[in-house]
Amino acid sequence: MQIDAIYKDGVFRPLTPLPLKDREIRLKITVPDDLFESGQAKEGIGMREKINAILGEYAHVRPKAMPEDDRAAWRGHLERKYGS
């Protein structure tokens, strides 16, 4: 079923009332890419991109976590703290 709706201030409102059984339902809405301010759709972006969008100018590239590096750093910390 296709429904005509208006989007305003984060809310989609159908143009005509819908006789639905449930008061709350999950919908999938397709929005053309050219309607986004940046010209790119936000669908499919990862968590890092979402966090960077929130951080804005404070976002910076972070190296990938490597377990071996973490273990070596922890060993180094323990050796400095307790001796070898």
3-state DSSP assignment of residue 45: coil
Cα–Cα dist 82/78, whole Å:
6
Domain assignment present for residue 68? The answer is yes
- Please check whether residue 24 lies inside any domain of the structure: yes
- Residue 84 located in a structural domain: no
Structural domains of the chain, count: 1
Range of the domain at 61: 5-79
User: Does residue 55 belong to any structural domain of this protein?
Assistant: yes
Question: Tens-digit pLDDT profile for the chain (84 aa)?
Answer: 888 899 888 888 889 988 888 888 888 888 777 777 764 555 566 788 888 888 888 888 777 788 998 999 999 999 999 987
Residue 53 within any structural domain of the chain: yes
CA 58/CA 60 separation, integer angstroms: 6
The pTM is what? Answer: 0.37
